[in-house]
Structure 1
C-alpha cells in the first residue's frame, strides 16, 4: 500500500495539478480603417450580411477591406446622398431615406414610397415593414405605399427606434410608444440623450450615466448607473446582450460580471469622441468618430497564438545587433516609419527576450529558439569586447554618429567605426547574471557553449571583485549605481530597499560565478559579505518595513524618498531565480525562500506573471488566476499611446500610499498605459502621442516560463 501511495505522489509532482490547458480566450483588438479626406461622417450601420456602411454628408460609403469607399454598387443610387439610412428590425435590410422617397433594395426592391419634397429627414422600419418618418415638426407612418401623417411630438424627436414590432421615440422630455395610430408617453425623462433596448427594458443614456425602464409600464427596472467609466453618454447599444455606450471620452461595454471594459485613446479609437456605433453578428463593435471608423473586435485565440504574434513582430522589426529594440516612430502610430534606437538599458530589456528564447528552447527544443538566444548573447558578449576596459560591460553600442540616448555617456571604441555607452548600472548587471543562469541551464549544451557563458560572467564578476565591488568606468571612477561594497550597501538603513536589493544581487552573482567557474575566490568573497558584513541579514529584511526615509543623499539623489521603486522589484525577482538556484547550501536556500516569499506577498496585487512564475519555481507558490489574467489581458497594441484612466467613475481610488497603489483593483493590462515590468502597474495615466512601440518580449518571457514550469499546457 505504501508503494502505491508513493507512486501516486510522484505522479502528482511530475504532472502539476495546477496546469492550465491553453484554451482559446477572447482578446479585444482594435482595427482602424482608411477614410477618404474631407468626409463629414454621420452614422455607421451594419446590415444582415455584416456589411458595414457609413452615411456621410458627401454620400453613402461602405467598407471594402480596410478602406471606406463610395457605395456605387447600385447605379441608380450611386450619386444620390441619403438623408438617413436604417436597417429593418428583424430582417436587417437597408432602407434609404432621400428628400423625396424612402426605399430598399431588399425584397426585390418592392418596398418604397414617394414623399413630399424635404419634409422628412429620419426613418426607422419595423419588422412588418412600416416606416416611421420624422422631420422638422413632421411625423408620419408609411405602410404599403401609403403615408399617414401623425401629430408631431411638440418638443421634437431626439431618437427613434423600431423594437418588438412597434415604434419608440425619445424626446428631451419623455419616451413615447406607438399605440393605436398615435404616440403615447411611457416615461418622463430628464436630460436623456440615448436609447436602446434589451428584453423588456428601455435603456436610457443621460449626462450622469444610464438607467432602464420597463417598456410596458415605464417603471424603473435598473437604477441610474453612475459608476461607469464616463457618465456622459451620447450613444447606447446592446450587442450580444451586452450594453455598450459611446461618450465624448471613448466607448465602454458592460461585462457579464458587471464590470466595464473601457475603450479610449488611440490604442482603440482614432479619437475619443463617439458619434455612432453599430455591431456585427459576432458582437464586434464599429465606432464612428468625427474623423474615423474603428472596430473593437473580439477574436478567439490561445496564448500560444498570441506568443506567435509577438515572436513574428519582434523578428520583423525589433532586433538591433542582437539587442531587443523599442522603436521610434517618425510618424506617430505608423510602424512603417520606425527606427530602432538604443536605450539606457539595452541589456536589461534584451535579457527578457533572450531568456524567453531560452525557456522556449527548453520546452520545444526548436533550433530556431536556440539560434535567437545565441544571437542575443552575441550582443552581450560584444558589450565586453567593444570597449578598452577589462571586464567592464558597456551599456550598449552603436555605429559612430548614430547614438540616441544620453549622448554625454558615450565613449569612442578602439574600433573607429563604433561607439559604446558607459555609466553601466546595477540594472544591467542583473541582466547579466539572469541571462547567464538561463543560458547555462537551458541552452548551453556542449562544453564550448558552457565555456562561452562561463567566460562572460567570469570577466564581469572578476572586474567587480577586483574593483572592490563596483564597476569602474573609463574615468577610473565607480559608476553611479553599480556599487555593492559594504560601505555603500550598509550605509542605507533597513527601511530603504537598496540595502536588501544590493545585498541580494551581488550574492547571487558571486554564487553563480562560483558554480560555473569553480573559483574559490567567489565563494570566499560571498561568505565574507554574507557573514562578516551582514548581507545575509540584509537579504532577509522584511519588505513590509520599507518606507519613506528622508535624508540619505547619494550623489545628489535623495534615496529614501519618492515612493516604492518598481524597478527594484524587477531587479529583485530576476535575481531571485539566480540567488535560490545557485545557493551554496540548502540552509541558505531555505533562508532565501523566506525572503522571496516575503517580497512576493507584497507584490501579489500587481498580478505580475513573471514575479508569480519565478516565485513558483522557487517556493512552489503562485497565483494561477492572476498569471492567466495577466497573459490574456496583455495588450496586442504596444504603441505608447496616451492613456487616461484617472477620470473614470467606475474605479475605486485608494488614499495616497507609499506603494502608489492608486486603485483597489488592477485594471486589465490593455486598459493601462503601455509599460515594461519595471513600472507601477497601478499607474492610471501615462504614455505619449504614439511616438514609440515596445517589442512584446514582456509577454514572451512569462508565456514560455509558464510552459517550462508546466503550469500551462
Structure 2
C-alpha cells in the first residue's frame, strides 16, 4: 500500500504520551541551592591583602589583613572594623573563634583579649612572642609562637609550654582539646606536653568529624581516628589534590585549594571555582557560619556560597521577571552583554544570527504557561513576540522569506555583510536565514496554534504566517531564496541537497524531518492539498521517510563531504540535536495519521536514547510529550541545577583529578563526550541548548548573560505534561 493511500487522520491537539506510560508527578517542594555572593571591598582599602577569615556566633565575618581587622557590613561590603575605638588603630597578628560560644578573640603583639565577658578577659604578653591563638569552651586560651607556647584560663596563666620541633601550620580546637598541625605530624596537647599521635608527609590541613579527623596533604587526603590510626585510605581523586585548608560542615568535608574549593558529597565532589563563585581561584582560607553558608577568602576578596531554599516555581518567576525586564528586544528574547565588562549597568541587547530560534524558546514557554495557567499575561506575551516573527516576513520585499533579524539603521552589532536596508529607511534586515531559524518558525507556529490561538481570526493569523513561509519554500524548489536571488547557505530542503548526504550523516535525516514536518503543519493549518501531496511525494519519490528513520546509531564520522567549502560529517553538531527535538513536537502532534505517528514515536525514541547521557530536561520532555519516554530524575536534576545567575563565566574542569575522562578519538567518541558522568550546569560553561553538554572548559565571560528561557521552556512543558505538580 502506498503512503498516499493511507487515510488522513489529524492528530489531537493535546495528545497524551504513549508507549512508556505516564510518570507520577514530582511535587515541587523546596530544595537547597547554592548562591554566589561576592563581597565588595570599600574603595579606600583597595590594596589590602587578606590573610584569614572567621565567622562568629552571630554570623559576623571578620578578616585578618595586612591593614588590620576588617569585617562585613550591610550590602555585602567589607571595610576596616572601627566599631571599637580602642581597637581601631591596632593590628592583630591573629584572630580565632572560641569553640562552643562563637566569641571572637584577638591576639595582638602585646596582649590577647575578647570584647565578650564585658571585656574582662585581657592579658598582657611579652612583645611579639606569640603569633597564633586558639580558645576552647572552657575559656582555655592557647598561644603559640616560633619558640614557645603558653596556656591561659581567662586572664590566669596556667603554664608555659614548649612546642613541637616541626613548624606550625595551624592550631585547631575540637572537643576542648588543642591540636597542633605540622607538615610531618599531628600533635595533641596533653596537660603540659604535646603528644604526637600521627606522622605523615606534606600535611596541610585537618577537619574534625566526630571521632574522625580528615587529614589534607599536597596530594589528596585521608582519614584517621583520634588515636592517629588511618581508618579511610588516601584519596587523591579530587578536583584539585593540593589542599590548603579543610572544614567539616554538616558532616561533609570542604576543601580549599589554589584552584577553587570543593565539598565531598556521597557520590561526587561539588566544585566551586571560576568567576561564578570566586573573585579569583586561589582560596587561602574559609569559614562557615551557623546557617551552613561557606565563606571563601582569596588574597583579594571574600566570596560566600549561600544555601537557599527555593522551588522550581519560584525560580521560574524570577527568570520570567528578569527576562521581561532585561532581555526583550523588539519582542525577541535576547542575550545581553556589558559594553563595559566591569560595569553591570552597561547592559546592551544586540542582534543575533538566530533571534527567531532563541525567541522560540521564550514564546514556547509562554504558550505552555498559558495552557497550564490560563493567565492572560502569558497569552499577551505570546502575541507580543509573534509580532516580531511576523515582521521578519514583512520588513523586506521578498515574498514569504523570513529575515534572520532586524535593527534600526546604524545600530547593527553583528557582522555587516548579510544586512540590507529595508524599504523603511529607518531599518535594516539580515538575510542568510538558516534551518535553525526555520525550526523556530515551526515550533512557535505549532504551539501558538495548539495553545494560544482561540478565535478564527487568531487561527488564520497563525496559518497565514506559516503558509507564506512554506509557499516560498515550495515555490523556490525547497530553498530559502535570499536577497541575491540565490539559496541561503543552510536554508535547503531540496532532494538533490538532502540526499547528497551519506546515510551516516545526520543532515540527511534532519533535513528530511524538517521538510515533512513543515508540510504536515502547513496542511493542518490551511487545508491546502498541495502540502499533503508534496509531503507524500517527498516521502515516496525521494525517500524522506526512509531518511527520517535512519537509526541514530548509524551516524558516525564521515569524511569527504563539503558544502560550499565547509567540511561536514566529521563532527557531531549539537545544533542538529536542538533542531531535531524542537521539530519532533510538531512532527508527532501534526502527523497525517496514526500509522505515521507510531513511526515518528520510534524515531524520536531512537534519538532520545542516544541523548540520555546529556540529561537535558527539554529533550526529555519533548520525548515524553511524543514517544512517551523520559528520564525523570535527570529532568528534575536539570531544572533544579539550572543556575539563576546566567552569566557565561569562563570555567575550567579539564585539570580535575576526580573526573573519569573518555578518549578524544573522533571514531570511538563521535559525540565528543568528555567524561563518563555529566557535571552539574553550575560547574560547566553556561550554554544554550545547541551546545555539547559535555563541554567542561570555556565560556564567554561574565559580561555576557543568557536570558533564562533555556529554563522556562522545559519548566512550563513539565508543568503542562504533569511531570511537575
Alignment TM class, shorter chain as reference: over 0.9
Is residue 2:641 matched to residue 1:644?
A: no
Matched, 1:31 2:37: yes
Deviation of the 1:312 alpha carbon: 1.2
1:115 alignment counterpart: 125
Match of 2:692 in 1: 680
Take 1:700 and 1:635, find their aligned partners in 2: how far apart are those partners?
12
Change beyond 3 A, Cα 1:619–1:450: same
Q: Taking structure 1 as reference, are residues 17 and 660 closer, same or farther at Cα in structure 2, changes over 3 Å only?
A: closer
Structure 1 residue 163: deviation in Å? 1.0
- Paired residue for 2:634, among 621, 626, 638? 626
- Structure 1 stretch displaced more, 192-201 or 15-24: 15-24
Gap change, CA 1:333 and 1:589, over 3 Å in 2: farther
2:523 corresponds in structure 1 to 514
- Whether 1:462 and 2:471 are equivalent positions in the alignment is yes
Q: Is the 8 A contact 1:249 1:273 kept in 2?
A: yes
Aligned counterpart for 2:585 among listed residues 572, 577, 586: 577
Spell out the pairing of 1:415-564 with structure 2 (5 A cutoff): 415-561=424-570, 563-564=571-572
Q: Does 1:312 pair with 2:321?
A: yes
Structure 2 SS opposite 1:335: coil
2:720 paired residue number: 708
For 2:342 and 2:550, the matched residues in 1 are separated by: 44
Give the deviation of 1:270 after TM superposition.
0.7
User: How far apart are the structure 2 equivalents of 1:565 and 1:353?
Assistant: 23
| Conservation of the 8 A alpha-carbon contact between 2:141 and 2:154 | no
Corresponding residue to 2:388 among 372, 379, 391: 379
Q: Tell me which of 654, 672, 683 is aligned to 1:660.
A: 672
Q: Is the 8 A contact 1:512 1:582 kept in 2?
A: yes
Shift of 1:81: 1.7
Deviations 1:660-681 (A, max 9, x none): 0111111111111101101000
Q: How far did 1:688 drift?
A: 2.7
Any idea what SS the aligned residue of 1:619 has?
Answer: coil
Separation of aligned partners in 1, 2:251 and 2:397? 66
Report the aligned-residue RMSD.
Answer: 1.4
d(CA) in 2 for partners of 1:479, 1:601: 33
User: CA offsets, 1:451-486, max 9 Å, x none?
Assistant: 111111011000000000000001000001000011
Residue 80 (structure 1) shift: 1.6
1:204-260 deviation line (CA, Å, top 9, x unaligned): 111111112111x211122111111110100101111110000000000011x2311
1:141-540 alignment, distance < 5 Å: 141-147=151-157, 148-215=159-226, 217-255=227-265, 257-332=266-341, 334-540=343-549
Shift of 1:414: 0.5
Deviation at 1:43, TM superposition (A): 1.2
Q: CA deviation at 1:139?
A: 1.4
- Deviation at 1:691? 2.6
For 1:391 and 1:592, the matched residues in 2 are separated by 28
3-state SS in 2 of match to 1:687:
coil
Does residue 601 in structure 1 map to residue 613 in structure 2?
no
How far apart are residue 16 of structure 1 and its match? 5.2
Change (3 A) 1:210 1:333: farther
Report if aligned partners of 1:345, 1:395 keep a CA contact under 8 Å in 2. Answer: yes
Say whether the 8 Å CA contact 1:278–1:285 is kept in structure 2.
Answer: yes
Shift of 1:144: 3.6
Unaligned runs of 5+ in 2: 1-15
Match of 2:4 in 1: none
Look up the match of 1:4.
none
Q: Which has the higher contact order (CA 8 A, sep 6+)?
A: 2
Q: Using the alignment, how far apart are the partners of 2:392 and 2:344 within structure 1?
A: 28
The structural deviation recorded for 1:17 is 4.7
- What residue is the counterpart of 1:59 in the other structure? 68
Secondary structure at the counterpart of residue 306 of structure 2: strand
3-state SS of paired residue (1:686) = coil
* Structure 1, gaps ≥5 residues long: 1-9
Distance 1:553 1:157 in 2: 65
Superposed displacement of residue 116, structure 1: 0.6
Task: For residue 661 of structure 1, give the secondary structure of its aligned residue in structure 2.
Answer: coil
What TM-score does the superposition give when structure 1 sets the normalisation length?
0.96
Q: Distance in 2 between matches of 1:84 and 1:111?
A: 16
Deviations 1:604-642 (A, max 9, x none): 111111111111111111111010001011122211111
Superposed counterparts of 1:13-24, under 5 Å: 17-24=23-30
CA distances 1:259-313 after superposition (whole Å, capped 9, x unpaired): 1100000001111000110101121101011111110111110000111111111
Residue 104 (1) aligns with residue 114 (2) = yes
Deviation at 1:690, TM superposition (A): 2.0
| Offset, 1:334 | 4.5
Contact kept? 1:326, 1:340, Cα under 8 Å: yes
Deviates more, 1:524-533 or 1:107-116: 107-116
| Contact 1:113-1:142 at 8 Å conserved across structures | no
1:6 maps to none
Whether the 8 Å contact between 1:16 and 1:710 is mirrored in structure 2 is no
The count of residues paired between Structure 1 and Structure 2 equals 699
Aligned partners of 2:448, 2:420: CA distance in 1, in Å? 29
Does the aligned pair in 1 maintain the 2:371–2:720 contact within 8 Å? yes
Asked if the contact 1:213–1:219 (Cα under 8 Å) also holds between the matched residues in 2, the reply is yes
- Tell me the distance in 2 between the aligned counterparts of 1:158 and 1:201: 20
Distance 1:144 1:548, change over 3 A: closer
Tell me the SS of whatever aligns to 1:19: coil
Relative to 1, partners in 2 of residues 1:666 and 1:472: Cα closer, same or farther, differing over 3 Å? Answer: same
Quick one: distance in 2 between partners of 1:425 and 1:331?
32
Cα deviation for residue 684 of structure 1 reads: 1.1
Pairing partner for 1:697 from 699, 706, 709: 709
The answer to whether the 8 Å contact 2:22/2:628 transfers is: no
Does the aligned pair in 1 maintain the 2:96–2:133 contact within 8 Å? yes
Give the drift of 1:138: 2.3
C-alpha displacement of 1:155: 2.3
Q: Offset of 1:335 from its aligned partner?
A: 3.2
Q: Partners of 2:93 and 2:339 in 1: how far apart? A: 40
Q: Distance in 1 between matches of 2:699 and 2:251?
A: 33
Provide Cα deviations, 1:402-433, integer angstroms capped at 9, x if missing partner: 11222111111001000000000000000001
How far 1:194 sits from its partner (Å)?
Answer: 1.2
In 2, Cα distance between equivalents of 1:201 and 1:611: 44
Distance 2:22 2:493 in 1: 39
